[in-house]
Structure 1
Amino acid sequence: MINVDKSVFIQIINFLFLIWAMNVVLYKPIRKILLQRKEKIAGLEQSIENFGKNAQEKEDAYASGIKEARAKGQKEKEALLLSAQNEEKQLIEKINKKAQEDLVQMRNKIAKDTESVRSSLQNEVDTFAAAIGQKILGRVI
């Protein structure tokens, strides 16, 4: 059987003192360091998550800005093309109108020239006819 004497109580007191000393000297500092490390890791993970969100937001904003800039550029391009087409149409109409006016003027000039040549030849027909008749007949008509 086990004898319970005062050495057992001393051993229990020694054991409790040793647990208390180990707790103060070893376990609490280690738990404190582990807790600090855990908090630091949690903080770093939160920072990483925040940076990831910020990066995603910035990337989305950049993509949105690019999309808006392209849309704006496309609208400006279409506006410029429409303006150029209208200007081209007006220029072609102006050139066609000028060409029609020039054509009418040339036809009028040709008609006047033809009429003046015809009247001048008409006046000289009698002279030419007399000269031809004289040459054919060999005498003065």
Structure 2
Amino acid sequence: MDSSVHPPCGAPDVTGSLVIFNWQHWGIIIGSLQAIENYLDGSQNARILDRINHEAVQVYYDVYNTGLTKGHDVPGDIHLLKGRIAQFHFKNGPDYLDNGKLKLGPIATAIKAIGYRGWIVLETSSPSKDAVADVRRNAEFARGLFK
């Protein structure tokens, strides 16, 4: 297999063409959902999902990597990928969720607007070096976004 292909996610190879694997009934048989995490924007992810064309494959959307690292329109991507996001990944670099460069308010508004009811995973730092206190602070902030 070509080393530029990252199976089974259907990731673009180095030439930009899309390699798609046959997922026919596979996810349903084993009762799993495969989620793609990448740095692509919403339209690129939608193209991958359209080509795979299977309900067992969705996006694991990392708001920091796509928004701050790559500069994509995160709320726009969320609306575009409505119903195709397995879960979200929240972080704010080395900072607390409420104190970093990425503004999570508009992102939470978009998540609520699409009616998403799944998991949001917090991958956060510990600026104070008190991991328990920092997790509490980040979790409290994240919960507050969705009240």
TM-score (norm 2): 0.14
Structure number with greater CO (CA < 8 Å, separation at least 6) is: 2
Q: Which has the larger radius of gyration?
A: 1
As a proportion of its length, which structure holds more strand?
Answer: 2
TM-score (norm 1): 0.14
